[in-house]
Structure 1
Amino acid sequence: MTKRKDQIKTAVDADGLRYRSKAPGSPFGVGTTYSSGTMSCFLCGKHRPRAMLKTRKLLGKSQPVCAPSCAELEQQLSKAA
C-alpha cells in the first residue's frame, strides 16, 4: 500500500478567498517607488534590491544581473551579516 499525505482541501468562500492559513501579501514587500523594489538576477535567480544589480546584454537583450558578480555579491552579503 502507498501512504498518502494528509490533503488539505480548500474551497472558495463567498468573498472569493480560498486560503485561510496563507499569509496575505508578497514575500518581497511592497515598494512605493520604482527603485525600492527587487528584481531577480538573470544568472543566479536570487531577488536583490535594484541597487545591487546592473544590466548586461545577454542573448541579445539587456538583463539584470548581480553587480559585480553573483559570487562576489554573495560573499559581500555573507560578510556583512
Structure 2
Amino acid sequence: MKDADVKTTLRPGGLRYASKVGGTDFPGAFGATMSCFLCSKHVSRSSLVSFLVAGRRQYRCRNGC
C-alpha cells in the first residue's frame, strides 16, 4: 500500500482514530450479501449458488468467479 493512500491517522496516544474514512467495504444492506466460498468476493445472495462441502452448505458465484 502506498503512503499516499492512507487516509486515517492515530492520535498521539495511539488508542483512537483522529480521523477515519466512513463507509463500508460491503455493498448493499446488512444480510443482503454473502461471500463466495471460492473467491471470497461479497456479492448479492441471488448471484450465488449453494453446494455441499464436507456435509456443510457453502455458496459460490453462480456464473463463475
Please give the TM-score of this superposition, normalised by the length of structure 2: 0.61
The answer to whether the Cα contact below 8 Å between 2:10 and 2:18 also exists between their aligned partners in 1 is no
Percent sequence identity is: 38
CA distance in 2, matches of 1:44, 1:29: 16
Query: Shift in Å at residue 27 of structure 1?
Result: 1.9
Give 1:28's aligned amino acid.
F
Which sections of structure 1, spanning at least 5 residues, go unmatched? 13-17, 71-81
Tell me: higher relative CO, structure 1 or 2? Use CA pairs within 8 A at least 6 residues apart.
Answer: 2
Number of corresponding residues = 56
1:59-74 mapped onto 2 (5 Å cutoff): 59-70=54-65
Hey, which bits of structure 1, 4+ residues long, moved more than 3 A? 8-12
Please give the TM-score of this superposition, normalised by the length of structure 1: 0.52
User: What CA RMSD, in Å, does the superposition of the two structures yield over aligned residues?
Assistant: 2.5
The answer to whether the Cα contact below 8 Å between 2:51 and 2:58 also exists between their aligned partners in 1 is yes
Name the structure where helix makes up a greater proportion of residues.
Answer: 1
Name the structure where strand makes up a greater proportion of residues.
Answer: 2
Which sections of structure 2, spanning at least 5 residues, go unmatched? 4-8
